[in-house]
Amino acid sequence: MAEGRQPSPRADVCVVGSGPAGALVACRLAQAGHDVVVLEAGPRFDGDRENRMETHLRPDMANPWEVGGPRDAYAASGPRHYPLNAARVKGVGGSTLHWHGMVMRLHERDFEMRSRYGVGTDWPLSYADLRPHYREAERELGVAGALDNPYAPPRAEPFPLPAFPPSYSDSLFAPACERLGIDMHSVPNARNSEPYDGRSSCVGYGTCKPVCPSGAKYTAETHVARAVDAGARIIDRAPVQRLVHDDAGETVDAAVYATPDGTEYEQTARRFVVAAGGVETPRLLLLSRSATYPDGLANSSGAVGRYFMDHLFAGMGGRLDVDTRQHHVGFNTSESHQFYDDTEPVNGLKLEFLNYAGPTVAGAALSSGTWGDELRDELDEVYGTQIGMGALVEQFPRRENRVTLDASVRDDHGNPVPDVQWSLDGATKAALTRANELQARVLAELGVEVEWRVGPENTGPAFHHMGTTRMGTDPDESVVDASLRTHDLSNLWLVGSSVFPTGGAMNPTLTIAALALRASEALAEGL
């Protein structure tokens, strides 16, 4: 038997996934007095964060979150290989277990790309609609920030926590940027600049991605714990295999999940929430095909899995003949959104001033085979003078970029694996080129000897999976409405970045949280 993993006999809401979206929904509904069950595919990672950090730092760079193997098998058959397992986590807390923790609001233009520029599509809600939920999300996550960004969307309230001061390497960039007329401003971070919400302030381990040993960085475990305190039940290592609907195809009756010993159970509920990310959410719907929904559950529009988007990385860096103190801060403290709303190219882009260019001293030492003075000399060569810039660039939704199923490869339960079919278009490459041009100007002004460049030809994803169950007003073109309820099934909600119609160029987690809080209000109605 699968001890402790049998279904709950009564549930108002069944939530699939315990990342930031699922955890916030479960917490809100449990605190409102509803019976909530959360099904999580991965395990609980309780404590032991320092050992996970050490695992990451060692030369073999083992994954501290146990990603890989048949459970996480995938395909990438598109024109450009998508390295899905390079940055995903299955476990209680989801992607926030290893995220960087940067949290920005989308700009007003991001909700109106079709109306303003004739590209992408419009959201069925505006920045003004989401603004109060952004404010609430910042409180829930504990965001440290300052009102010093003249390019940010309108807001009246301060951040819950004061911003982190600019890093030492930011101070090296500042004079060059000032001479070039490039504005720098603080980065909102979901990590504690002072003790908040029972968690300590940041103590500077510098390994924020993939693990924060101190717990200063927010993870969705915070809201999972609150949900449990309010009476919710969490069933871990219980990957959902499919959703089963009623005879009429109008509601979901049950989530069928498997346990570690291979037993399958059905969890019934009055309402269902799928919050499994931009790849696993459409995959689950496609695995739930039936005679009524032969192309996948909730897929009468044909949009499930379509319009897959990510943010693309552009970067450049090298050496500076001064001490740069690389990795003294493991996250960004300064950015520039100055070029975000430019109309040439239309794709949004934001510049990042990296505090973690080059190897860490611990990583360099552990990967060296030398000792004593020889090791010291080797570290002097690779550590302490490296500096770099990054950028995130927007990718517009394209129907051919999609997540589908590959039946030739099976996971540990015999299900077809997700197949990410991904490519880049000319507009995205032009925006990457523009980002590189801006970075080259700054680094040249600073006197950096450029040693590496990531641009249009060798770019990689930021692993922000978006767009595969897009929201909209037209059921023929979208999967969910503005409340994130599916058009096809009246008791099924899809929560997370998969619902984004467009992605902008801002890290998506704050928008994920804001939408989850907004959806919780709709979910609670009538329960």
C-alpha span between 220 and 21 (Å, rounded): 8
Three-class SS of residue 391? Answer: strand
pLDDT bracket for residue 1 (50, 70, 90): very low
In DSSP terms, 268 is beta-bridged to 254
C-alpha span between 183 and 198 (Å, rounded): 35
By C-alpha distance, which of 135, 403, 141 is closest to 276? Answer: 403
Q: Six-digit token pair at 121? A: 């599509």
Mean pLDDT of 137-161: 97
Q: What is the pLDDT of residue 66?
A: 81
By C-alpha distance, which of 311, 360, 317 is closest to 173? Answer: 317
By C-alpha distance, which of 417, 361, 422, 353 is closest to 388? Answer: 353
- Residues 44-79 pLDDT 10s: 987 677 777 777 666 666 677 788 889 999 999 999
C-alpha span between 500 and 239 (Å, rounded): 24
Q: What is the pLDDT of residue 166?
A: 96
- Residues 384-400 pLDDT 10s: 889 999 999 999 999 99
Report residue 46: phi and psi, to 5°: -85, 125
* Superfamily of domain covering 1-143+211-310+399-420+466-527: FAD/NAD(P)-binding domain (3.50.50.60)
Q: What is the pLDDT of residue 358?
A: 79
Three-class SS of residue 317? Answer: strand
CATH number attached to the domain at 161-187+312-393+423-460: 3.30.410
Three-class SS of residue 408? Answer: strand
Q: What is the pLDDT of residue 51?
A: 73
C-alpha span between 312 and 188 (Å, rounded): 20
Report residue 135: phi and psi, to 5°: -60, -45
By C-alpha distance, which of 483, 505, 512, 500 is closest to 218? Answer: 512
Say which DSSP state 70 is in: G
| Sequence ranges of the domains in the chain | 1-143+211-310+399-420+466-527, 161-187+312-393+423-460
Q: What is the pLDDT of residue 65?
A: 73
- Quick one: how many helices (H) and strands (E) in the chain? 11, 18
Q: What is the pLDDT of residue 61?
A: 63
C-alpha span between 241 and 107 (Å, rounded): 37
Distances (CA, A) of 220 to 29, 78, 290, 419, 518: 15, 32, 33, 27, 17
Largest CA distance in the chain: 75
In DSSP terms, 245 is beta-bridged to 252
- CB 224 within 8 Å of CB 38: yes
C-alpha span between 345 and 197 (Å, rounded): 41
Say what percent of the chain tops pLDDT 90. 80
Residue 2 has pLDDT above 70, yes or no: no
Radius of gyration of the chain (CA): 23
- CB 282 within 8 Å of CB 403: yes
Mean pLDDT of 511-519: 98
In DSSP terms, 272 is beta-bridged to 14, 492
- CB 516 within 8 Å of CB 25: yes
Paired sense of beta strands 334-336 and 264-268, if any: unpaired
C-alpha span between 147 and 163 (Å, rounded): 9
In DSSP terms, 388 is beta-bridged to 317, 354
3-state SS, one letter per residue, for 444-505? HHHCCEEEEEECCCCCCECCCCECCCCECCCCCCCCECCCCEECCCCCEEECCHHHCCCCCC
3-state helix, strand, coil in the chain (%, to 5): 30, 20, 50
Distances (CA, A) of 48 to 65, 102, 191, 199: 12, 24, 19, 16
Three-class SS of residue 298? Answer: coil
C-alpha span between 390 and 395 (Å, rounded): 16
Q: What is the pLDDT of residue 56?
A: 67
The number of CA neighbours under 13 Å toward the Cβ of 142 is 20
Distances (CA, A) of 394 to 342, 346, 462, 472: 12, 9, 11, 20
- CB 15 within 8 Å of CB 490: no
In DSSP terms, 234 is beta-bridged to 38
Distances (CA, A) of 450 to 17, 34, 95, 319: 42, 57, 32, 7
- Residues 214-259 pLDDT 10s: 889 999 999 999 999 999 999 999 999 999 999 999 999 999 999 9
Give the sign of the dihedral formed by CA 411, CA 492, CA 6, CA 46: positive
- Residues 265-310 pLDDT 10s: 999 999 999 999 999 999 999 999 999 999 999 999 999 999 999 9
Q: What is the pLDDT of residue 60?
A: 61
